[in-house]
Chain A
Amino acid sequence: MQPINRMKIEFDSKSTNEAFARVVVAAFAAQLDPTLEDLADLKTAVSEAVTNAIIHGYEQKPGTIYMECILYPDRITVIVEDHGVGIEDIEKARTPAFTTKPELERSGMGFSVMESFVDSLQIESEKGKGTRVIMTKKFLRG
């Protein structure tokens, strides 16, 4: 299926940008007239991916987060990328309640939430190079 619209942005890995990122994606996705519930699910998944990039990818140090959205007639694909430390073991990271940062009271539910709230989730990561999260959410028309 051919994309009908695309956008790309980059922003600093600051926690204030978590809300910015999810609002931007929701505004872009609104073109497909999704239900409020689907939009809320998408915002939650985007928030998780951006938070992961800030806390884990860049370990709360300065960095740049790259976000791309591709719209299809019935779905949106969102790509969130960082050039941070990368994930040591992706399978382990996807395990519910697994966290490398318990001291920060991280629940370890980030990837589980993403998996539940979008239709497909792909994680690519290389140690020392960074992480790319690709998620796709299908929309029932609202």
Chain B
Amino acid sequence: MRVALFLTCVNDTLYPDTGRAVVKLLTRLGVDVDFPMSQTCCGQAHYNTGYRHEAEPLARHFSDVFRDYEAIVTPSGSCGAMVRELYPRMGERARAEGRGESLATTLAPVVPKTYELTEFLVDVLGVTDVGAHYPHTVTYHPTCHGLRGLGLGDRPRRLLQAVKGLELKELPGADECCGFGGTFALKNADVSAAMGADKVRNAESTGAEVLCAADNSCLMHIGGTMGRLESGMRPVHIAEILASTEEEPAV
């Protein structure tokens, strides 16, 4: 199976380790991974801040880059939800504005083929034990767009529970937003910071070493808050845990 990795602009620029982990993990599971070099950004930040017209060309570009692959895999629930949920909506809106069928038609092929990583592992590859080894205590934060947007359900937790050596701790208030919200973190910094601090306190109460999530943008906010609060915890993307083995452990 030949799949395209849609790494997202945030991962590419700030979290290349997550990308390397996805490549390592999928290759180990027998998947032929390609990274189309012309990929950029799905347009979510533009769309969610109200710049729908700026987001449209980015969505078109995304479709041009990825339309010929069998599947598109992304280690981001948030960007995955952008493609799966909001691209069809952008198409509908363009149609309602009398701008023809073109955008909706262009975007349609990539929508059903785009999978968030844990969804791809469980639903497409049909695995929950990916042969990982990670001897740490971990608590899992289900990010909003993964939880309520894509409906990832218990897929990430099932994958984590099958990791050897990993002890999973329940996170109190797990389904509450961490307060990132893209430009929300800047536009409403006080509220965002208060939400982040509460998330970190809840995570600390589990006694886990690691807070894990399937979205680096939320982890950037939570990790940045942990750093400032001098918490002993570390934020780690779920891909890095699933890629970790006894021979090649994640740091």
Co-assembled chains A and B? no
